[in-house]
Every structure is written in structure tokens, then in C-alpha cells.
């Protein structure tokens, strides 16, 4: 019932729903208005020829990042209920028979369900847009990988956002935190600027940021078909350099991250942040 309450509170507040999608909508707007044309023109110049697969390839790369961003912003938006309860209804819960542990789990699980719904919605819209741009509709195997990636991505984002908001005690502080995360998340994931063009120190921040790996996983699935066609006949290292440039894979010296490496990276991060959140919440109770 507590989880259901949190979910209903979130979706009844249209402003919360809108602002949780604002980061994704901003990326889509920038892509449609000028970012897409700019990146496509740069790719044409680099290849030295035009191809109908350039547009779906770039759309896949950018919108894959948008899906990952949604998992973060929607999970964060759902945490507003917890912050609001601390200032209001949550104090009443503390005098009720409901245990604090059960209350905390309801916030975690409610946020995860909200993040899952919103991220799946944006994923469906992204796939529809990519298909409309000439991309191939994902097959059953790709859809299975996409859904698994969404679940893992949402759990990781949920764990990180719960840990961060555990230190937030007021609605004003939460609003400031949301604004900062919303402004930075697209840059940290390398959505607005190709990762390979950033300074080396910034590239390392991107490579170590867990949600960048979520974006990488979505990019590997969604962009695979158009890129394989686009780079047909090209040496493998050419495709590899392109994938590194746009954050489809990450290089750690001679090691190149793949789908399953990023999966393990997200899984470990999820467990770590959930464990840290438990420690923080227990100390706050004390």
C-alpha cells in the first residue's frame, strides 16, 4: 500500500512527471533542432560520403543516451515524495505502527517502479523515432537485451539517487539538487559532445560514471545494425575508433569495455550504493 501510495502521488503531480522527463525532452529537442544535423554533417565529413544510414546511426547514439538520462531523472523525481514526507506526512508515519525500515523500502521500490515505467516509455518512443528515421526495428533478442538493460539501469540510478537524496532534508535543497543533476547529466554521459573530443581528464570522469555505462549499453544495442551497414568494408579499427569517439565503448588503456563489462559495472555499483544507503539511513535513525 505504501508503494502504491508513492506511485499514485507521483503520477497525480503533473509537474513532477514533467520535470522528471525534462532532461529527456531537452535532449530530444536539441537533437531535432540542431544537434542531429551538426553530428550528421560531422560524420559525413569524416566518412567522405553520404549514406541513408547516417541519420539512424546518429539518432540511435543520441536517443540511447536519452533513455539512460530518463532513468536518472525519473528516479530522482520520485524521491521528492520522500523529501516531502520528511517535512510533513512522514512525521505522522513515525508515530504509526509502520516500521522505518518498511517505510524506507517503500520509497526505494516505489521510485524503482516509477523509473521503470518512465524509462520504458522513453525507450519505446526512441525506438519508434529511430525506426521512422530509417533504422531497423529491434528483433526479439535485442528487445530482451533492452528490457534487461532498462531494469539494471533503473536499479542503478535508483540506488544512486536514493543515496544522494538521503542527505537532503528540505524541498528547497531537493529543487537545487534536481536542477544541478538535470543540467550536468547530459554532459557527463557524453550526449551533447562526443566523448572522444573531451579533455582526457573529463573522459575519465565519463568512463567512471556508472550511468555512462548504461548509455553505452543502449548505444551498443540500438546502433549496431546501422553502424555495421555504414562501415561495411571498412577496417575494424575504423569502426572501433568511431565507437570510442561516441561513447559506444570505453577504452581503459588497452582494455575495451563491452556489453557484459558494463553490465557487471552497473551491477556492482547498484549493490554498493544500496549498501551505502542502508548505512546512511541507519545512522540517521540513530
214 confidence band (pLDDT: 50, 70, 90): very high
% of residues, the chain, pLDDT over 90? 41
CB 247 within 8 A of CB 189: yes
- pLDDT at position 156, please? 96
Q: Are 126 and 71 in contact (CB under 8 A)?
A: no
Q: So what's the pLDDT on residue 90?
A: 54
Q: How far apart are CA 34 and CA 37, in angstroms?
A: 5
Q: What is the pLDDT of residue 32?
A: 80
* Averaged pLDDT, 46-75: 88
Residue 273, pLDDT score: 95
pLDDT score, position 89 = 56
Residue 136: C-alpha distances to residues 57, 153, 278 (Å): 10, 23, 43
* Residues 193-222, mean pLDDT to the nearest whole number: 91
Name the domain count of the chain: 1
pLDDT the model gives residue 97: 65
Cβ neighbours, 10 Å, residue 44: 13
Enclosing domain of residue 155: 2-285
Output 88 or 161, whichever has higher pLDDT.
Answer: 161
Mean pLDDT of 57-71: 92
Q: Quick one: pLDDT at residue 181?
A: 87
Give the mean model confidence (pLDDT) for residues 162-182.
87
Q: What percent of the residues of the chain are helix, what percent strand, and what percent coil, each to the nearest 5?
A: 80, 0, 20
Residue 217 has pLDDT above 60, yes or no: yes
- Kindly report, residue by residue over 74-108, the tens digit of the pLDDT: 999 888 888 887 776 555 655 666 667 788 888 88
- From 13-17, 53-57, 131-135, 202-206, the region with the lowest mean pLDDT: 13-17
Confidence category of residue 234, pLDDT binned at 50, 70, 90: confident
**Residue 72 scores a pLDDT above 90:** yes
Beta bridge partners of 72: none
Contact 158, 112 (CB under 8 A): yes
pLDDT in tens, 22-44: 778 888 888 888 878 888 888 88
Percent of the chain scored above 70 by pLDDT?
95
Q: Is the pLDDT of residue 130 over 70?
A: yes
Contact present, 77 and 175 (Cβ < 8 Å): no
Q: What is the reported pLDDT for 95?
A: 61
Q: For residue 229, what pLDDT is reported?
A: 87
Distance CA 286, CA 277 (A): 14
CA–CA separation, 5 and 172 (whole Å): 23
Facing residues of 252 across strands?
255
The pLDDT score that the predictor gives to residue 113 is 94
* Measured distance CA(187)–CA(127) in Å, rounded: 22
Residue 233: predicted pLDDT? 79
pLDDT score recorded for residue 286: 55
pLDDT tier, 237 (very low <50, low <70, confident <90, very high otherwise): confident
Amino acid at each position: 500500500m505504501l508503494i502504491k501510495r508513492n506511485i499514485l502521488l507521483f503520477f497525480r503531480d503533473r509537474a513532477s512527471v514533467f520535470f522528471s522527463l525534462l532532461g529527456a525532452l531537452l535532449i530530444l529537442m536539441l537533437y531535432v533542432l540542431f544537434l542531429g544535423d551538426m553530428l550528421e554533417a560531422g560524420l559525413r565529413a569524416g566518412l567522405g560520403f553520404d549514406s541513408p544510414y547516417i541519420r539512424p546511426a546518429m539518432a540511435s547514439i543520441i536517443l540511447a543516451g536519452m533513455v539512460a538520462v530518463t532513468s536518472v531523472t525519473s528516479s530522482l523525481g520520485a524521491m521528492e515524495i520522500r523529501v516531502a514526507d520528511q517535512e510533513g506526512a512522514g512525521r505522522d508515519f513515525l508515530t504509526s505502527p509502520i516500521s522505518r525500515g518498511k517505510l524506507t523500502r517503500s520509497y526505494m521500490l516505489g521510485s524503482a517502479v516509477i523509473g521503470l515505467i518512465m524509462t520504458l516509455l522513453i525507450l519505446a518512443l526512441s525506438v519508434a523515432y529511430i525506426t521512422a528515421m530509417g533504422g531497423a526495428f529491434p528483433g526479439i533478442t535485442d528487445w530482451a537485451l533492452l528490457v534487461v538493460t532498462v531494469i539494471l539501469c533503473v536499479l542503478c540510478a535508483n540506488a544512486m539517487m536514493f543515496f544522494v537524496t538521503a542527505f537532503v532534508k528540505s524541498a528547497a535543497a531537493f529543487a537545487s539538487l534536481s536542477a544541478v543533476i538535470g543540467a550536468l547529466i547530459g554532459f557527463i554521459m557524453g550526449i551533447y559532445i562526443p566523448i572522444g573530443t573531451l579533455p582526457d581528464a573529463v573522459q575519465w570522469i565519463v568512463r567512471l560514471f556508472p550511468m555512462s555505462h548504461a548509455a553505452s549499453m543502449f548505444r551498443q544495442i540500438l546502433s549496431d545494425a546501422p553502424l555495421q551497414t555504414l562501415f561495411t568494408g571498412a577496417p575494424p579499427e575504423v569502426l572501433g575508433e568511431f565507437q570510442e569517439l561516441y561513447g559506444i565503448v570505453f577504452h581503459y588503456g588497452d582494455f575495451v569495455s563491452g556489453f557484459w563489462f558494463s553490465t557487471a559495472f552497473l551491477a556492482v555499483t547498484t549493490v554498493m550504493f544500496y549498501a551505502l544507503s542502508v548505512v546512511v539511513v541507519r545512522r540517521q535513525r540513530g
